[in-house]
Amino acid sequence: MNACNAASQPVATIPAFHFDNSFARELPGFFVARRPAIVPAPRLLYFNRTLADELALDLGSLDDQAKAAVFAGNVVPEGAEPLAQAYAGHQFGGFSPQLGDGRALLLGEVIDRHGHRRDIAFKGSGRTPFARGGDGKAAVGPMLREVLVSESMHALGIPTTRALAVAATGEDVYRERVLPGAVLTRVAASHIRVGTFQFFAARGDVESVRKLAAYTIWRHDPALADADEPFLELLRNVAERQAALIAQWMNVGFIHGVMNTDNMAISGETIDYGPCAFMEAYDPAAVFSSIDLHGRYAFANQPNIAGWNLARFAEALLPVLSEDPERAIASATDVLAAFPERYRRHLLRGQRMKLGLRRGDAGDDSSDAALVDDWLALLHGASVDFTLAWRRLADAAAGDEAPLRALFADPRTLDSWLARWRERCAAEDGDATIESTTSGLARAETMRTVNPIIIARNHRVEEALAAASDDADLGPFERLLEAISSPYRETSAVATYAEPAPAAVTACYRTFCGT
């Protein structure tokens, strides 16, 4: 699976990326070599200069027109080995034995300024043999959505792929209506997915599973190379990364929307921003994706789905875990059985920070978890905005309960819970009856570093994308991007971006895959 197409070859190269392409070098047969399609009129819409510097890219001599030619795929950087990766996946529970990069290409890998290996990949760069009848293209709106949401997640401190650039192509893309085309350049720790393992496991190709697992350890868990059971430890590490990641999603109200196994990265990064959204009024059953008709990937289901996906990863690894099938199953089952507790530990640690609690002493887990559960029940019962409720709780810690109480139709419902929370805070501070003003102010400041005031609110995202796609106006996109880049800083200049959408708008809001 590594023949290159002869048509539509880009005509020039530039020595700007300093590629070192281990995936192409070490895993022949795991991909199809492919060149990006030539587009008629590339134009740069977005370029992340800070990320480019972090990646040690030598692009300073290129103007926007030259960058557009690179990031639209018309000029392939020197040393790139563009390829479409093979993978399978469970999509909404049903297994597809061959998916793969239908409209994406891994250009290659670079070593960033911190010594980390990073993938640089295109999305929307034309059809590949994995396209399954698709056109291989992408539209401006969905590509800019990935910029906004992934950069919001990065600013929130959540592991994620990053957006390096978006280039308009100057050609139309045909979906429900005609849309302007674009190519996204995405940066990731790697694009190895649960589905990558499933592709070879489904074919009974145990040696390829073993080779992929060994490469993954080299890439993401080199300390495991000398472990007695390195592949079992890989499963354990992936479970730990996913437990931490999903807990972070839950603590900011993020809904991925399409948690298929081909969308779970072994690295522990959030990947594939399609029908994603941030929840506004707290609702565990919240679903925004137009294709999630039965709520499989609803907000509260995300931890369970992560565990389900990990079970599929474990199944793919079983033949390399042990020569004894029963021992392999027992070992994998132990790891999977521990996942819910791993997740709860990460979740509660984050929730304590959001509550302004610095520690959890032995025996406090159940009472602190109950405190959080009762808080969330209050938000759900009153349809209170999730992000603002946590942020205004910080104001209450500083002694001003008015902004928090203003979020509730009946503020009196808060009285009992606030008394319990203050008692818990005071006990931690060594005063069982009352929290000092100094301590409260310090707690509030700490809480404001973990409870954002700005998220990529859905109505603001849609406004920005509509302006960019329909009117070629990037102003709303650029202003929103600037606001979400500092999510914990509350100023009058960004106050409008902190406001929830009207309830009527949220009630009928739907997201789409963008394919």
Catalytic residues: 262
Bridging pattern class, strands 178-188 and 162-174: antiparallel
- Render 231-257 in DSSP notation, one character per residue: HHHHHHHHHHHHHHHHHHHHHHTEE-S
Computed over its alpha carbons, how large is the radius of gyration of the chain? 24
Output b/e per residue, 377-410; b: 16+ Cβ within 10 A. Answer: ebbeebebbbbbbbbbbbbbbbeebeebbebbee
Question: Residue 8 gets which letter from DSSP?
Answer: S
The amino acid at residue 99 is L
What is the rounded CA–CA span in Å between residue 104 and residue 76?
A: 14
Locus of tokens 């809001």: 509
Cβ neighbours for 140, distance < 8 A, ≥ 6 positions apart: 45, 166, 168, 179, 180, 181, 182, 465, 468, 469
Output b/e per residue, 242-269; b: 16+ Cβ within 10 A. Answer: bbbbbbbbbbbbbbbbbbbbbbbbbbbb
Q: Which of 252, 258, 304, 303 is nearest to 282 (CA)?
A: 252
The amino acid at residue 438 is T
- Render 128-152 in DSSP notation, one character per residue: -TT-TT---B-BHHHHHHHHHHHHH
**First vs last Cα of the chain: how many Å apart?**
24
Question: Alpha carbon of 322 to those of 182, 309, 335: distances in Å?
Answer: 46, 21, 15
